[in-house]
Amino acid sequence: MAQSKRYSERASAHTNPTAIRLFQIMERKQTNLSVSADVTTKAELLRITDAVGPYICCLKTHIDILSDFDHDLIDQLTALAKKHDFLIFEDRKFADIGNTVKLQYSSGVHKIASWSHITNAHIVPGEGIVKGLAEVGIPLQRGLLLLAEMSSAGSLATGEYTLEALRIARRNKEFCIGFIGQRRLEGLIPVEEKEDFIYMSPGVGLTSKGDGLGQQYRTPREVILDSGCDVIIVGRGIYGSGDTVENAKTYQKAGWDAYLERIEK
């Protein structure tokens, strides 16, 4: 199982260029932390990104919440990704038919495919959403995560829906590198040899249990060790209060310690 393997071993065995880069960065920087900087100005996003850059493998963005978005922001984020060695994941959660998401991914104001190494999609519309995104993403060597589960209370992504995400990903392995989820799913239906999906898990917090709007938090140890996920996604736990850099270091260590415990088990 991928779960007991080192990220470096998984990098050598993978075929998707983005998945390989992500695993290599994780091993090189000893971090499975992705920071989600959900702020609404360019200056704040750049400040947080530069501060947490050394401690993350991936920056998660919601580019459509910025009130002063421009392409200079993309140039600067791309420069910071090079400077600190991390990937960018636009948490766009595409949810329309294949033809529409293809346009949303490639065009519009944000031109997500041109700068975001990873993006994600709901499977509500069926497999056509993956086919549409893949037409844009594969030539650019991007990776897609499917939303198999969500961290919020009352999420409808459960049971058969979650399993269908796994089945769709298996049929589209060239582009689908993994899932947004709360636990590793391979145990639920038979595992195929050489299959390796990346599980990124939001809803991570060391002190808070929720936010009053449905978000539910688990600790890095619960996510990485108990649930077998690969990347912890942390937002307000890092930039919400206290010292952003110290918080990032704390989550980086907690996530990495849980990973070491997992592979040494």
Q: Which residue is nearest to ligand 5FU (CB)?
A: 235
Nearer to ligand 5FU (CB atom), residue 19 or residue 231: 231
Question: Tokens standing for 18?
Answer: 């983005």
Restricting to residues 108-167, which ones interact with ligand 5FU according to CB under 6 A? 147, 150-152
141 is an annotated ligand-binding site residue:
no
38 is an annotated ligand-binding site residue:
yes
Active site annotation includes 230: no
Q: How far is the CB of 112 from ligand 5FU (least distance, A)?
A: 15
Instruction: Give me the helix-helix angle, 98-106 and 128-137, nearest 10°.
Output: 30
For residue 249, what is the enclosing H or E element? helix 244-264
Which one is catalytic: 42, 50, 85, 93? 93
Helices (H), 41-193: 42-52, 71-84, 98-106, 128-137, 159-171
Count of residues of this chain found to bind ligand 5FU when the rule CB under 6 A is applied: 17
Active site annotation includes 64: no
Nearer to ligand 5FU (CB atom), residue 139 or residue 212: 212
CA atoms within 13 A on the CB side of 215: 18
CA atoms within 13 A on the CB side of 26: 25
183 DSSP assignment: S
Q: Give the contacts of 2 (CB within 8 A, at least 6 positions apart).
A: 10, 184, 186, 195, 196, 197
Among 53, 98, 178, 237, binds ligand 5FU (CB under 6 A): 237
Among 9, 27, 38, 127, binds ligand 5FU (CB under 6 A): 38
Active site annotation includes 253: no
* List of residues contacting ligand 5FU (CB under 6 A): 36, 38, 62, 91, 147, 150-152, 180, 202-203, 215, 233-237
Binding residues for substrate: 38, 60, 151, 215, 235-236
The residues carrying an active-site annotation are: 91, 93, 96
